[in-house]
Amino acid sequence: MDIVGIFKEGIEVSKKNYIIFVPTVAAMVVMFVLTLILVGGGMLSIGLMGAGRYSPGAIPSSFGALMGGMFLVMIIGMILGLFAHGMTVGMAKEAIDTGATSINSGINIAMSRFAPLLIAAILVGIIVAIGSVLLVIPGLIAAFLLMFTFVVIVVDNIGAVEAMKKSFETVKSHLGDAVIFFIAMIVIGLVFGIVRMVLNVIPVLGQLLGMALMGIFGGYISVVMVKVYRELTTPA
């Protein structure tokens, strides 16, 4: 499999259908704004109390509100991110198959697949988390073996457990290509991550641009993953 060629093809598909980036970028921006409002406001309140602006007795309630805000942001972020990922994978599939896609198509696909996507997110999350507790490496291996799970759910329209099994079998059957692809994704992700760290130095605007950049990365990788999965599962 020509990994470099597929990454280049992913760029071309993305350039012709930049709307693919909209779901992931929008999700990241919404999460940034919610974090500023729900978490930033709580941290500001605690900071003011520490400076003596409010009664010390109010600190526990403000700390509780902060933790509640963080939990709410986490839950909303998971749901938004999952829905955006489902949209992006569906739009990527459509763009690859027909040459064009739309937001409406992405919404329809994500809504029709959301239940298995949610179940898969919970199962994969638990497996990877347990593996990560065991010296990190097992968690990384689990993430590697299950990396196509969400793509399989959207592309093949099957359930969560079946998609996990198919991802495992696909990776195992094409181990060499899968390893190269996985490493390439990590390297590209690190590059985007470093750029985001640089942008984060700029207050608010830089952080917002950094999150949008990671949204673009998520959209692009979705296109590439669909192409790689198709390549690995299409009979020679």
**H helices, E strands: number in the chain:** 10, 0
Task: Report pLDDT for 61.
Answer: 55
User: What would the pLDDT profile of 165-191 be if each residue is shown by its tens digit?
Assistant: 999 999 999 999 999 999 999 999 999
| DSSP string across 118-181 | HHHHHHHHHHHHHHHHTTSHHHHHHHHHTTTHHHHHHHH---HHHHHHHHHHHHHHTHHHHHHH
Domain count, the chain: 1
> What is the average per-residue pLDDT within 94-102?
92
User: What would the pLDDT profile of 31-82 be if each residue is shown by its tens digit?
Assistant: 888 777 766 554 544 444 444 444 554 455 555 655 666 777 778 888 888 9
* Amino acid occupying residue 24: T
Q: Is the dihedral of CA 211, 160, 154, 176 positive or negative?
A: positive
> What is the average per-residue pLDDT within 147-174?
95
Q: How far is the C-alpha of 73 from the C-alpha of 3, rounded, in Å?
A: 36
What residues make up the domain containing 51? 3-233
Q: What is the mean pLDDT of the chain?
A: 85
Q: How far is the C-alpha of 36 from the C-alpha of 47, rounded, in Å?
A: 15
Task: Report pLDDT for 68.
Answer: 65
Of the candidate ranges 29-33, 65-69, 199-203, 221-225, the one whose mean pLDDT is the lowest? 65-69
